[in-house]
A and B are shown apart, each in its own frame.
Chain A
Amino acid sequence: MSEIDMSLLPDFIVEAEEHLEEMELMLLQLIEEPGSLELLNDIFRPIHTIKGGAQYIGLQKVSKLAHSLEDLLDLMREGKKKSSSEIIETLIEARDRIALLVGELSASSCEESSVDDLVALLTGMLADGKAVEVVAPAQDEMTTPQCDYQEEEDEELFSVFLTHLQENYTALVTLTRELPQSSDCITLLNESQALLDALHSSANYMGYDELVGRYNHWRSEIEQAIEAVIQGTSPSFNFMLDISAELKERFPQLKDVDESVGDVTDDVMRAFAEMEAAGESEPDLPEGSSDPQPTTGEDVTEDVMRAFAEMEAAGGSEPDLPESSSDPQPPTGEDVTDDVMRAFAEMEAAGGVELAPERPASEDEPQSTSEIDLVLLPDFLVEAEEHLEEMEEMLLQLMKEPGNLELLNDIFRPIHTLKGGAQYIGLDRISRLSHSLEDLLDLLREGEKSSSSEIIETLMVARDRIALLVKELTANSCETSSVDDLLTILAAITKGDATGGMTTAESVKPQDEIAQTAAIYQEEEDEELFVIFLEHLQENYTGLILLAQELPQSSDKIELLNQSLVLINALRSSANYMEYVELVERYQVWIGDVEQAVAHLTQGEQVELDLMESYLTELRRTFPQLTDVTPAPAPVSDPSNIKVVINEPVVGGLEDTLLKRDSTARSSSAEQVKPPSELYNNLSSALDTSLSQGSNAEDYKNLQHVFDELVSKNAGSAPSSEVQASKKVTPSKPAASAAVKEQKPSKMARKIKKSVRVDADKIDALMNQVGELVVDRSYFFQLFNEMRDLQRHLKETVGLEQKDVKLVRTFIYRLSEAIAALGRTSNELQEGVMKMRMLPISQIFNRYPRLIHDLTRNSDKQVNLIMKGEETELDRMIVEELSDPLIHLIRNAVDHGIESCEMRLKAGKPEKATLVLEAYHESNHVVIEVTDDGRGIDPEKIRKKALEKELFSAEELENMSTNELIPLILTAGFSTADKITGTSGRGVGMDVVKKNIEKLNGSLEIDSKLGIGSQIRLKIPLTLAIIHALMVRVGGDLFTIPLANVEETVRVFKHEISMVEGVEIIHLRGQTLPIFRLSTVFNEKCTERPDKSFVVIVSVGGQRTGFVVDELLGQEEVVIKPLADYVQEKSGFSGATIIGDGRISLILDVYELVRMTAKRQAKKQLEQTDKIKSKIKLH
C-alpha cells in the first residue's frame, strides 16, 4: 500500500543506502567502461532491489524513479541505447535523487522531493531510442494525470476519497440525465450543487488544489444556470455532461453509470482481472512468451504486448496493490480498448490460465523471483508465522460468520502483508498463492461471491500451504511444495464469478477435475523427485505413443507390444518408488492387457489395438503436465498443431480426448489453441468419418491424407521444429525445477553471513558498562596495593609472626592472581565490544570516487583515485567524524595540488594524476594517508602569504625551514591559492581538518615536495570511548589530560620562569612557550611547591603551551563520560571519568582550554593597555 510501512522503513533505509553507495561506485565505473554489459547488470540489481523494497513499503516516488531507471538500463542492456556520458550523468543524478529521498525518509519518514522531472527526463531518453517500442505516447500521457492522483501517500485516505467521489459522481451523472426531462430544474441543479460541495470539501482535505479549483468553477456554472432558469430562460445543461466527463477523465477509477460506456469499462476491468490472474499465476514461464500466435498472427501479439506495456506503465509501479489492479486501464478510447479486448478474448480462448505474454520491460521478473533474499528471510518468516496464525483464527471465525465484511478485511491484511514480503524477498510461490488468495478475497469483499464453506475451506487449505512453505523456508531456505494446484483451484473459483459464467461454464469443470487429479500428484513433498518422475514419465509416454502409432501399420505387432511392455514396466517401477499405489495398479492392469494382446497375437488372433490409446489417454488425463509429441513422419512447425497431430492415432474416444486436450492444454502449456481453421475442419471431418465407420485402414488413409496436407503446408521448417516445439511446450514444471536446481548451487555458494542489526545506542550502553568494569578493575588493583601496605604494616608495626604473615602473603598472592584474571577478561571484553563498534573505513572511502568525479568533471584535470586498506576498521563515531576532514583534504589535493593535464605533460608527469587514499593500523592508532603526485606546496608562497597576513616577521620567515613553514597552512584563514574557486581557496580548509582531527585526539602531519607531490598523514586513535591519559592533581582534585595532546612533562624551577607582558613563559630547548597555572585557571587552592613546578607541555594547532600542575600521578586508560551540556559549555572540559576509588576526574579539553586562556590573556592585555592609557591621560 502506499501507506508507508514504518516498521520496515529503517531497514529499507539502511539497505537502500548500501545499495546506493554500491550503485554510485558502479556508475562511476561505467564512465570508464561504458560498454560493459556485466556492469550494467550489476547496476540493475541494486536498483531493482531498491524498487522492490520501495514498492513493498509504499514509497511511491522512490519506486517510480527506480522503475524509470530500470527501463532505461534495460534499453542499455539490450544495446538499444548506448551508454553515453550524458545518460550516465542522468543516471547519477537519478541515483542522487533517490539518495535524497532516502535521506528525507530517514529524517522525516516521508518523501518530499519530487521525482517527476527526472522521470520525465528518463522517459524522454527512453522515447529517443524507443522507436521500436510499442508503447503509444498518447497512452503514456493518459497515465500521467492519473498518477498524480494516485501518488497520494495515504492510500487509505485516498480510497475513502475515491469511494466518496464515486458515490457523488454516480449521483451527479443520474442528475445530469434527469435534467433535460425534468420540470423542476432548479431542485436538480441545487442537488447537483450540494454534491459538488461535498466533492469540493473532500478534494480540499486531500489537498488537490487543482481539483478544488475545478469544482469551484463548476459550482459557479451551476449557479449561473440556476439564475438563468429562475429568469425563465432555458440554459444549456451541457456543462453538466462536461463535468462528469472531466471527472471521469481525471479519475479513471470511477465506475460509470452510463450503460454504453459502462459495459466497455466493465469489460476492460474484467479483462484485466482475468489477465492478472493469468499473468500472475505463472510469471516464471518465460518460454511461453516467445510462442507465436498463429491465427491472428502478429497483430494479437502486439496488442497484448501493448496492453501489457500499458498496464505496466499504469499499474507497474504498484503491482502489489490489489485495489489498483482493476483501475490501471485509463479510458483511452475505443480503439485501444477494442485491441485490448480482442487480445484478451484471444487469451481467454486459449485458456489463459497459464499464459504469460511478453512483458517488454519486466525481464527482471524471473530473475527476482528465483533469487531469495536470505538476509531478510528470517525476519519474513517470523512475521509470516504471526500472520498465518492470525489468519487461521480469523478464517475459523469467518466460518462462523461468513458474511462478516470486517472479518474479510481483517483476513485480507495479513495476506497482503505476506504477499508484499514474499515478493520483496523473492518467494515466488508464496507471493503467487497469496496473490490468488487476495483476488478471491477481493471478490468476497465486494460481495460478488459469498463466502461459502467450500471457499473458506479452500482459503484454509491455501493458508496451510503457505504455512507449509514457510516451514520449508525455515528448514532449508527454499520453497519446495508446489502451489500450482491451489492456484488453479483459486483461479477457477475466482474466475467462476469474474466472468459471470460467460465463458467458462463448460471449461471450468474439466479444468477443476484435472486440477484435482493433478493436485494428487503434485502435492508431492519432494519436488525434485517428482520432476525426475515426470521426466521419466514423459520419456516413456512419448515412446509409447510412437509405438502405438506404428502399431496399426506394423507387421510385427508382437515386437511393438513387447517394447511397449518394457516401457510400461519402467513406468510402473517409477510409480512404485513414488508410492503412487493407484497408478501402479493401473499400470499393472495395462501390462495385463498388453500381455493378453501379445498372447492373442501369438495365437494368431485379432486383437483390439486401441487398448494402448485408451491407457495413454488416461495417463495424459492424470498428468496434464505431459507433452504430446508429433509422429515422426509429420513434423509441424506450429506448436498449435501438435496436439491435433498426436490425436491422430487415438481413434477410440478421439473426440473425448480432443476435448480433454483442449482443457489440459490450458493448464499445461502456452500452446496456441486456434489451429488453422481450414485444416482443423478437414481433420475433424476425417475424424468424424473414422469414428462412424470404426477403426479400419481406410480411416487411417483418410487421416494420412489430411496430415499430408498439413505437412506440405508446413514443409521447410520441418526438421528442427520438433525439437523446438517440444522445448517450447515443455510444461512449467520441469522448467521451474530446472530453475530450482540452478538456484541451489548459487545458494550454497553464497555464504550465509549471520548478522544482527543492533541499535548503536545499545552498543554504546554496553561500552559504558565495560568502561565501568575497567574502572572496577583498577579499583581492585588499588585495593591490592593497599593490601600489600597492610601486610608490611602487619609485619613491621604489629609484629606478626612469620607464619601468620605467610598466610597473609599467600592470600595477597591469590588476590593478585584473581585480579590478573579479571584484567584479562575485562580486556578481552573491552576489545570485543570495541570491535562491535568498529566499521570499515570503506564506509567513507567509498564516497570519494564520486567526489573526485564531481571535482574533475568541469576541470581540465584527470585524477585516478586509488584506495588502499578500505577494510581497516575504526570506531563508528570516528568514522563519521573523519568524513569531513577527508573531504577537505581531497578537495585540496585535487584543487591545489594536482595540475591540469597540460601542465602535467609539460612537467613530464603522466597526464592522469594519481591520488592515493590509504588506511592502515599502527599500534592502537589508525593512520590515513592522502597522497597526491601534484605540484606540492611551495614554501615561498607560504612565506609570502605569512608575511601578508603578518603572522611572522620577514626575518623570522627567512630563518624558517620548509618543515616549519608547511604547518602554517593549518592556520585559520591561510590559503596559498591565487584565486578562490568554487571548491576551495577560502582558507578554511586545513584549519578545520586540523581541529577535527585534534577533537578525535588524533594528529596530522604534512609532507610535501615541490613539484613531486604532497602527503598528508592523519593519525587517529582506534576509539573515542577509552583514551590513554595523564592523570594530574591540581589542588584537591584530579584532572585527566589526553595523552594525545601531551608532548612531554618537564620540571621547571622558579628561576626559569619569566614574565613577558603579564604572561609567564619558559624557555624549552631554545623555544619560548607560555605556561598557565591550572590552579589559577580552575580556581583551585594552590599546593604547588614554591621552588619548582611540574609543567605538562601540550601541543595544540602546532602551538605548544605549558600547564603547571601540582603533581603528576601517571598514565592510565580512562573511560570518557559525557558531562551535561550546560556544565561542559565553555568550561574547558571535554568530559569526565571515574577513577578507581569512585572519585570523578575531569578530562581537559586542551584545545578549548588553551583558546579560553589565550583569549583572557588578550583581554587582560587590552585592559592593561587601557589602564596605562588612562593613567597617561590622568597624568
Chain B
Amino acid sequence: MAETIGFEKIEESEDEGMLQLVGFEIANQQFGVDILLVQEIIRSAKVTAVPNSPEFVEGVINLRGNIIPVIDLRKRLHLYEETSEARNWILILNIGDRVVGFIVDSVTKVLKIAEDSIEPPPEIVIGGLENQYIAGVCDITGVLFVILDFSRVLFNEEYRMLKDIDQDVEELLLDGDMMI
C-alpha cells in the first residue's frame, strides 16, 4: 500500500552530544526533524479529505488500521512558494503520543550534527517562516537547515483553536462560499 523507508535506531550512548536529523524540503527550504520523532516515512498513501476541518488538514490516512490525520506542512507554515515537484512524501511523526502525518515536498537525507552547532532561531524570518515554530537553525556546508519544533507546529494551532472556538464559528458562519 505504501512505500516505507525505515531507519535504524542509533545507540544514543555512542553519539552523545550528537543529534540525528531527518532532512526534508519544503518550498526549496531545507528542514530537519529529530530522527527520534520520526515513526516512518511513506509515499503514495490515499488521503481522505475531511470536509470542514481546518484548512491545513489535508485529510486522514489509513495507516495499518489506524486513522492518522495528515497535515500539509506547507500550508501549516504558510509557505506558498510554487514548486513543480511532486509532493507525495508523508513524514509520520510521533509527537507526545500523537501520531500525525506531515506532507513535505521531499525527504533528502539523514544528517548527524553536533548538538552545540544548533543556534537559536534568528529574529529575522527565514523564507517567510514564522520563528515561533523554529527550534533552532544550523549551518551544514553552507546550507541553512531549519529545525522545526513540531510540538508547537501541532499544539500551538490547537491552543489557538480552543481559545477562539466561538470566533471560528463566526468565521465559518460568515464564509459565504460554504453556504448552501
Interface residues of A (CB under 8 A from B): 768-769, 772, 775, 1037, 1062-1064, 1076-1077, 1080-1084, 1121-1133, 1136, 1138, 1142-1146, 1156-1157, 1159-1161, 1163-1164, 1167
Contacts and interface: CB of A to CB of B under 8 A. Distances in A.
Given A1077-B180, A1164-B179, A1136 B60 contact: yes
A1131 B46 contact: no
Counting contact residues on chain B (CB < 8 A from A), the size range is 20 to 34
Interface in B40-94: 46, 48-54, 57, 60-62, 65-67, 69
B180 A1063 contact: yes
Contacts of B172: 1130, 1156, 1160
Given A1037-B49, A1121-B66, A1132-B52, A1127 B60 contact: yes
A1084 B50 CA distance: 10
Contacts of B48: 1037, 1136, 1143-1146
A410 B18 CA distance: 41
B129 interface: no
29 contacts: A1037-B49, A1076-B180, A1077-B180, A1081-B51, A1081-B180, A1082-B52, A1123-B60, A1124-B98, A1124-B100, A1125-B158, A1126-B57, A1127-B53, A1127-B69, A1129-B161, A1129-B165, A1130-B52, A1130-B168, A1136-B48, A1136-B60, A1143-B62, A1144-B48, A1145-B48, A1146-B50, A1156-B52, A1159-B173, A1160-B173, A1161-B180, A1163-B174, A1164-B176
A1122 B60 CA distance: 11
B1 interface: yes
Interface of B: 1, 46, 48-54, 57, 60-62, 65-67, 69, 98, 100, 157-158, 161, 165, 168-169, 172-174, 176, 178-180
Chain A: interface secondary structure?
A: mixed
B174 to A, nearest CB: 7
B48 to A, nearest CB: 4
Given A1130-B168, A1130-B169, A1123 B69 contact: yes
Contacts of B179: 1160, 1164
B103 to A, nearest CB: 14
Task: State the 5 A-B residue pairs at the shortest beta-carbon distance, nearest first.
Answer: A1082-B51, A1144-B48, A1163-B173, A1131-B52, A1124-B69
Given A1131-B52, A1163-B173, A1144 B98 contact: no
A1126 to B, nearest CB: 5
Nearest to B65: A772
A1062 to B, nearest CB: 8
B60 A1126 contact: no
Contacts of B69: 1123-1124, 1126-1127
Q: Decide if the interface of chain B is mainly helix, strand, loop or mixed.
A: mixed
Nearest to B173: A1163
Contacts of A1167: 176
Given A1159-B173, A1161-B180, A1163-B173, A1123 B52 contact: no
Contacts, number: 97
Contacts of A1130: 52, 165, 168-169, 172
A1121 B180 contact: no
Given A1076-B180, A1123-B67, A1124-B100, A1132 B61 contact: no
Contacts of B169: 1130, 1159
Contacts of B98: 1124
Nearest to B158: A1126
Contacts of B100: 1124
A1142 B180 contact: no
B153 to A, nearest CB: 12
Most chain B Cβ neighbours within 10 Å, of A1037, A1084, A1127, A1133: A1127
Given A1130-B168, A1132-B51, A1160-B173, A1083 B178 contact: yes
Contacts of B158: 1125-1126
Nearest to A1121: B67
A768 B52 CA distance: 26
* Residue of A772, A1144, A1160, A1164 with most chain B CB atoms under a 10 A cut-off: A1144
B12 to A, nearest CB: 29
A1138 B180 contact: no
B99 to A, nearest CB: 9
A1063 B165 CA distance: 27
Contacts of A769: 65
Contacts of A768: 65
Contacts of A1143: 46, 48, 62
Nearest to B54: A1126
A1125 B98 CA distance: 11
Given A1126-B161, A1161-B180, A1131 B67 contact: no
Given A1082-B51, A1126-B69, A1163-B173, A1144 B62 contact: yes
Nearest to B180: A1080
Contacts of A1083: 51, 178
Contacts of A1122: 67
A833 to B, nearest CB: 15
Contact of A1138 (B49, B65, B178): B65
Given A1131-B51, A1132-B52, A1143-B62, A1138 B67 contact: yes
Nearest to B98: A1124
Given A1126-B54, A1127-B53, A1136 B67 contact: yes
A715 B53 CA distance: 99
Contacts of A1164: 176, 179-180
Contacts of B60: 1123, 1127, 1136, 1144
Given A1127-B50, A1142-B62, A1145-B48, 6 more contacts: A1081-B52, A1123-B50, A1125-B158, A1144-B61, A1160-B173, A1160-B179
